[in-house]
Amino acid sequence: MKLTPLAALLSGALLLSATPAKALGFLEAYRAALTSDPTYQAAIAENDAGQENIALGRAGLLPQISASGSRYKVKGDQEYPQQTLTGSRRVTNPLDYTSNSRVVQLRQTLLNWGSIAQYRQGKARAGYSGEIFRSKQQDLALRLSSSYFQVLLAQHSIELAEARRDTLNQQVKTTEKQFEAGDGTITDVDEARARFDLSAAQLIEARDQLTVALRSLREMVGETPLSLAVLKTELPLVSPAPDTLEAWIELALDSSPEIAAARQALEVAAREVDKSRGGHLPTVDLIAAYNKSQSETVTSINQDTTTRQVGLQVNIPIFSGGYTNALTNQAIANRQRATYELEAAVNRTQLEVTRQFSGTLSGIAKVQALQLAVASSEKAVHSTKMGFQAGMRTNVDILNAEEQLYQSRRNLAEAKYLYLLSSLRLRAAGGMLSEADMVAVDSFFGAERPVRPPKLGSTPDKSAGQKKSARVG
Residue 18: the pLDDT is 42
* Range 120-156 burial, b when 16+ CB lie within 10 A, else e: bbbbbbbbbbbbbbbbbbbbbbebbbbbbbbbbbbbb
Q: 63-111+282-316 has which fold?
A: Outer membrane efflux proteins (OEP) (2.20.200)
pLDDT, position 186: 85
Closest CA to 157 of 103, 212, 97: 212
Helix, strand, coil shares of the chain, percent, nearest 5, are: 65, 20, 20
- The predicted model scores a pTM of 0.83
Distance of CA 17 to the CA centre of its chain: 26
What is the secondary structure of 89-144 as a DSSP string?
Answer: EEEEEEEEEEEEEEEEEEEEEEE-HHHHHHHHHHHHHHHHHHHHHHHHHHHHHHHH
Euclidean distance between CA atoms 359 and 425, whole angstroms: 10
Tens digit of each residue's pLDDT (9 = 90 or more) over 287-315: 999 999 887 665 556 678 889 999 999 99
Judge if 5-60+113-280+324-472 and 63-111+282-316 fold alike in CATH terms: no
Alpha-carbon dihedral sign for residues 175, 179, 180, 182 = positive
d(CA 123, CA 129): 10
What confidence score (pLDDT) does residue 298 get? 57
Q: Lay out the sheet containing 445-450: strands in order across.
A: 23-24, 227-231, 445-450
List, for the chain, all residue ranges whose pLDDT scores fall below the cut of 70: 1-21, 296-302, 455-473
Give me the helix-helix angle, 435-442 and 113-181, nearest 10°: 20
Going along 112-254, which residue ranges are E strands? 227-231
> Which is the CATH superfamily of the domain at 5-60+113-280+324-472?
Outer membrane efflux proteins (OEP) (1.20.1600.10)
DSSP secondary structure letter of residue 13: H
Q: What is the pLDDT of residue 470?
A: 44
Give CA–CA dist 288/154, Å, rounded. Answer: 73
Q: Where in the chain are the domains?
A: 5-60+113-280+324-472, 63-111+282-316
d(CA 67, CA 290): 9
